[in-house]
Amino acid sequence: MTACSGRPKGVLSQSKMTAVLTDLHKLDGYLFEKGYQYNHFEDKTPYYHFILQKYGITESEFDASLVWYTKNPKTFERIYDQVLVNLTELDNIVKSGKFHPVDSAALAKMKINIWNKSTKYKLTKDSTRTRLHFEITDNNLMLGDVYVLRLLQQIAPEDSSAKQHVVLRINYVDGKSDSAYADSHNDSLTRRYYFRLPALRKQKIKSVSGELLGSKEYKGKFNAMLDSISLFREFNGLKQDSLRKVINKADSVYKAKKLKLQLDSIRKVSLQKKKTDSILNLKSQNMKSVSLPKATLQKKTAPAK
C-alpha cells in the first residue's frame, strides 16, 4: 500500500524526515564536541533514542524511511538541501550570541600547536622501520584541555605492515589513559585523519602520546607518506587557575592514597619479619630447654688380688 505521493505507508513524510535528520546532525555535533565520537556507544545510545521518542517513531520506522529515501535520491536530495538550510540558520543564530552571549571567558579560549617533531615524513624501502611513536610532556597539560591531532597519510600496497592504525592517547599520572583510534589502509589513497580528544579525568596529565604508523606486524618494506601533522592543545586561559586547584586537590588525594598503600606494605613486611623472628626465637628457646641425655660410662673395677 502506498500513500498519495507514492511514498509507502510507514515511511516518514519529507517534512518529518527533515526535522529528524536536522536533530540527529545537531546531536552528532554536540557529541563530537564532547569527545564521544570514538567508542562510548552505550553513552550515546540514549541520546538517539530520545530523538526518536520526541517524534513518536521507532528505530525500525526510521531505518525503513532511510532505506526508501536512499532509493529515491532526488527526493532525498531535496530533504538534505532543507537540512543544510536549517543547520546554517541555527549556526548563524548561535554565532549571533542568542543562546550564549559572548563574554570575556569565551574570548579567553586559546589554541597552541604542541607538536614538536617533523610535520612531514616520506618513508621508503630503505627507511628504518618505525611506528612514528611520539610523546609530549608539559606541566601545563591539565583537565579541561582538548587535544586535536591532524595529519595526511598515504600507504602504498607495497608496504608489508599489517593492520596499520593511528592512535592518540592522554596519559594520566595514575597510570590510566584515554585514547582515540583509527584504522589505516595500504591502498595508495591519501586520507585526512582528525582526532579530537578531551581530557576528562580529574587527574594530572603525564603526557600526550600516540603512534602515526602503528601496525600489528612490524617488519618488511616501508612505503608510506605523512604530511601536515599538527597537534593542538585547546584550553581556556581564564579557567586554568581554578582547574589547577581541582587537579592539585585530586593529586593530593591520590598521593595520600599511594603513600598509605606504601606504608601498609611496609607495615606488612615489618609485621611479617617480627612474626618470623619471634618464631625463630621461640624455637631456639625450646631447643635450649630440652636437656640431652648424657652418655653413661661404666667404670671398670680392677680384679681382686
Spans of all domains in the chain? 14-94, 107-237
Show the 3-state SS of 24-89.
HHHHHHHHHHCCCCCCCHHHHHHHHHHHHHHCCCCHHHHHHHHHHHHCCHHHHHHHHHHHHHHHHH
Global pTM?
Answer: 0.50
Quick one: pLDDT at residue 119? 93
**Class (C level, CATH) for 107-237:** mainly beta
Quick one: pLDDT at residue 4? 43
What are the average pLDDT values for consecutive 10-residue runs of the chain, which has 305 residues? 64 94 90 66 83 93 93 93 92 76 59 91 84 88 88 88 89 90 90 92 88 80 90 78 58 62 73 72 63 50 54
pLDDT digits (tens, 9 = 90+) for 51-104: 999 999 999 999 999 999 999 999 999 999 999 999 999 888 877 777 766 555
**Block residue for cell numbers 589547577:** 244
Quick one: pLDDT at residue 291? 52
